[in-house]
Each structure stands twice: as structure tokens, then as C-alpha cells.
Amino acid sequence: MPDHALTKVVAASPQRSLWHSVDRLRQSFVGSAIIAVLSVAALLGLWELLAWAYDVPRWLFPRPSDFLNRLVTDWQMIGHHALATSVTILKGFGLGVLIAVPLALAIASVPALERGLYPVIVFLNIMPKTVIGPILIVWFGISPLVAALIVFLMCFFPILVDAISGFKSIDPRLFYISRTMGASSLQGFFKFRLPAAMPHIFSGMRIGVVKAVEGVIVAEFIASNAGIGFMILQASAYMDVSLMFAGLIAAAIVALAFNSLMSIAGRILMPWANTAY
């Protein structure tokens, strides 16, 4: 093959790989979305039918038509609280990623640091994070900061543990080979170590974002004056069960949105990885 033809093939390969990743993402996302929508619709339809057949009291256990109607009629209020919840998740989750990934790299690179910190990390990881909420309220008062810190604690440890595993998963011989070929330590990190760790990091981030949604709802029960958790708590005081269920649906939508964003980011940044991302 002539040199100029080989150059064209090499130059076109990354572009084809990118378009293949985008097309694979589009097909899998659309297919997954259709299956998810049909499954949820079937579940809600069965729920509505059983509630109608057994004449379940609406004030005790609302029908899907009741809380779906609340999502439409009270969309401004629910949207306001959902936005507050999303902002809190972004703050706590973003802080967790920014601290967990560099710390994981340091722990994986320095054996003495791993021996000293890993037992502490395991101990803090098994500690119930919501128990720390009252202590944070004493320190910082009832504010969005407390909710963001609880979210940070919920998502920090899954990201940290998986990132440590990822940074330790690469074969050390690859570093020696790259150094003999003249690559610097920084080039070896970005070409070998980070790509090898990224599937583990994204796995921890997907677990962390689920933990973040769980944590933010509980945090808003005790330490916030806005958010889906706060809205559900207020609705429970007035026995507004349909609004409480609407809040649960809104929380599920927020969790699904963040999980989908993580999946899309993983597929774009890691086209070589399997479809689990």
C-alpha cells in the first residue's frame, strides 16, 4: 500500500471509530428508552386496574392517574424542587469526583499511603452517612451546604474504592515498555494508566450517583428548605399522598437522568469499553 494511502487510512480510523461509537450509542439508547417506557407503562396500567378493581381508598394509596395528574397540574412547584435537588447532587457529586479520583491515584501509587489510609477508608465507608447529618446541622445550620455534604459523603467512597482498583489494575510492565520507547511519566499516565482505570472510575461514579440521589432525599428531609425531599415532607404533613407519590416519581426521573448522563459520558469517553457503560 502506498504511503499516502496508508496515511489516509490511519487518519480516517479515529473518525470512523468516533462515528461508530455515536451510532452505537444512539441505537442502544433509543432501544433501552423504548423498553423502559413500555415497562413503566405496563406497570402503571396494572396498578391503575388493580386499584380500580379493589376500590382502594385514594387518600391512602393513590392511583397512577392521581399522581401523574399532580405532575402536570403542579409542574412548576415540582420542577422548582427537582431543580434544587439536581443542583445539590451536582455540587456533592462533583466534589466527590474531584477529591476521590486524585486521592485514589495517590493511594494506588504509594503503598505506604494505602497501608495507612485504606483501613480508615473502609471504616468510614461502612459508617451510616445519614447519621452524620445532625452533626453537620450543629456545625453549619439548616442549609443547602449540609445537604451537599451528605451527598458528597454518600458518593465519595464508592468512587474512591473503584478508582483505586482501576489505577492498580494496569500491568506495570506497560510502564516499563513505554519508558523504553521514550514516553514521559505524564504520557504514560494519559496513554495507559488513566484509560485502564476509566471503566472502574465510571463504575464507581454510576454507583455513586445512585447513592447521591438516595442521600439528597434524606438530607432534604432534615437539612433543607427546598428540594424533592423537602416537598415530600411538607406533603406528608398535610396527608397529601398523591403529591408524595408525585415527588417519588420526580426523584426517580432525576436519578434516571443522572444515570443516563453517566452512561452517555462513559460510551463517548470509552468507545473501547463494552456496552455496560
Q: What is the DSSP string of 200-267?
A: HHHHHHHHHHHHHHHHHHHHHHHH-SSSHHHHHHHHHHTT-HHHHHHHHHHHHHHHHHHHHHHHHHHH
pLDDT at position 6 is: 40
**Residue 184 pLDDT greater than 90, yes or no:** no
**24 band by pLDDT with thresholds 50, 70 and 90:** low
Backbone angles phi, psi at 83, to 5 degrees: -65, -40
pLDDT at position 12 is: 44
Backbone angles phi, psi at 227, to 5 degrees: 115, 165
**Residue 262 pLDDT greater than 70, yes or no:** yes
- Placement of cell 387518600 in the chain: 59
Q: What is the mean pLDDT of residues 146-163?
A: 91
Instruction: Output the CA–CA distances (angstroms, integers) from residue 62 to 50, 58, 114, 235, in the order listed.
Output: 11, 4, 51, 14
pLDDT at position 225 is: 84
Range with top average pLDDT, 136-150, 177-191, 197-211, 260-274: 197-211
Which one has a higher pLDDT value, 33 or 115? 115
Q: Could you read off the pLDDT of 228-250 as tens digits, one per residue?
A: 999 999 998 888 899 999 999 99
Cα first-last separation, the chain:
37
Q: Could you read off the pLDDT of 28-86 as tens digits, one per residue?
A: 656 666 777 777 778 877 877 887 877 777 777 788 888 888 888 889 999 999 999 99
Q: Whole-angstrom Cα distance, residue 118 to residue 128?
A: 18
Residues 213 and 251: beta-carbon distance below 8 Å: yes
